[in-house]
Amino acid sequence: MKNVVLIFLLAISCSTFAQTIRRCNNNPGVSGVNVYTTIQAAHDAAVAGDIIYVEPSVTDYGSVDVRKRLTIIGNGYNIDKNTNVPFEPRTSKIVTITFNNGSANSVITGVDLSGAGTNVNDVNITITRCKTNVIGFGASSNLVAGVNSRGNNATITKCLITGSISGSNSTNVASQYGYNCTITNNIQQGSSIGSITNTVIASNIYNLQGISNVMNNLNGCSVTNNIYDARGFTATIPFVTSGAGNTISNNICLGQAGTPSGNGNVNFGDETTTFLVANPWLTFPTEDAKFQLAVGSPAIGIGTGGTNAGAFGGANPYILSGLPAYPVMTNFTTTGVGNTTTPLQVSVTVRGNN
């Protein structure tokens, strides 16, 4: 049955893309042309512009040092927790991914990267609909023609993040990384965003329970439409501990006065009525649907232009389970085994994702 699903998805992909499709699959009995058991092996065999499908498995595919422009596609995460998702409960797991020199303009989507984390050391990297630990912007470990690369102009969107996001605010512009990025519509727990410059930070949800600061060393950033959950704090949180030139507007802080006054910011939001459940962090990161806004939530309509604050607000909201923007099968049944006189009856239900 799973082979039929795979053939279906590959047929759709081949009709959409001209690049070579490479499969990362470590399940027993799966082999063939362009099939690899580790993500690094699939990368090493690929050429710039190829697509790598990281297929569902009970085990991870190891780590990868990306030095080519690739598109890496998984089937999402937390699939067994949400409705109307693929009937395949296993997910696509990579321990650590590092985008080094040569990987500019790469895209990764629908992959569980919650092992050691994600390192962005080249420009124009897109990480979307992924579950990941820490995200670090840095300098590449390899030179190309004597030139290094740095993690700037990245897009981090619609991700479930269990750790921090950090870059460098060096006074030397040539040494900066984490510069001119877009960080939107994510759900992030446990750590702050630090040392980021000239970046849009919008429509995210942050858990500040137990965090000593919200954002550290931001410079020239636009911080808007975010939800900061500061319930349980006995002291006021310093919103930005250092940096300058930031625009902070239309955010909501739950439980205390954690955002600067004015500019549409809202403080003392009721944390018990904001989300679908009183405290969705109790089941984070396994259940992302609980972070949707409740009826009458104080985060409704407080964003710029009357939009809702948080990951599910704005023009490009968070997608449950990180399902990639490709059709997926939600049901597959057959009558058994067919032959020349009795045809095989197949029923397939397909869902398209935006």
Distance of alpha carbon 60 from alpha carbon 25, whole angstroms? 10
- Residue 234's pLDDT band (cuts 50, 70, 90): low
pLDDT at 13 over 60: no
Mean pLDDT of 242-262: 89
pLDDT: which is higher, 252 or 345: 252
Tokens of 1: 């049955």
Distance of alpha carbon 325 from alpha carbon 161, whole angstroms? 19
pLDDT at 223 over 60: yes
Mean pLDDT of 119-127: 97
pLDDT at residue number 14: 46
**Where are the strands (E) in 9-166, listed by range?**
21-24, 35-36, 51-54, 64-66, 71-73, 96-99, 107-109, 112-113, 117-120, 126-128, 131-132, 135-137, 155-157, 160-161, 165-166
pLDDT at 5 over 50: no
pLDDT: which is higher, 50 or 351: 50
- Residue 15's pLDDT band (cuts 50, 70, 90): very low
Mean pLDDT of 29-41: 94
pLDDT: which is higher, 80 or 319: 319
As a whole number of angstroms, the longest Cα–Cα distance in the chain is 76
pLDDT at 302 over 80: yes
Which of 43-52, 79-88, 152-161, 295-304 bottoms out in mean pLDDT, i.e. has the lowest?
Answer: 79-88
pLDDT at residue number 110: 95
Distance of alpha carbon 199 from alpha carbon 169, whole angstroms? 12
The b-or-e profile of 7-22 (16+ CB within 10 A means b, else e) is ebbeeebeeeeebeeb
Mean pLDDT of 91-113: 96
> Mean pLDDT score of the chain, rounded to an integer?
87
pLDDT at residue number 148: 86
Distance of alpha carbon 336 from alpha carbon 98, whole angstroms? 44
Q: Residue 107's closest CA among 19, 204, 27, 28? A: 19
- Residue 12's pLDDT band (cuts 50, 70, 90): very low
* Residue 239 dihedral angles phi and psi, to the nearest 5°: -70, -55
Q: Residue 164's closest CA among 199, 126, 216? A: 216
Provide CB contacts within 8 A for 313, sequence distance 6+: 185, 203, 225, 293, 299, 303, 307
Tokens of 97: 């991914």
Q: Chain-centre distance of CA 154, in angstroms?
A: 12
Mean pLDDT of 122-129: 97
pLDDT at residue number 1: 43
* Residue 3 dihedral angles phi and psi, to the nearest 5°: -65, -35
pLDDT: which is higher, 79 or 327: 79
Tokens of 126: 């897109």
At 60, the amino acid letter reads D
- Residue 270's pLDDT band (cuts 50, 70, 90): very high
pLDDT at 265 over 60: yes
Mean pLDDT of 324-339: 68
Instruction: Report the percent of the chain where pLDDT is more than 90.
Output: 63
Residues 161-213 have pLDDT tens digits of 999 999 987 666 667 899 999 999 999 986 678 899 999 999 999 988 666 55
Under 8 Å between Cβ of 233 and 204: no
pLDDT at residue number 159: 97
| CA 334 vs CA 41, 127, 337, 345: distances in Å | 35, 37, 8, 6
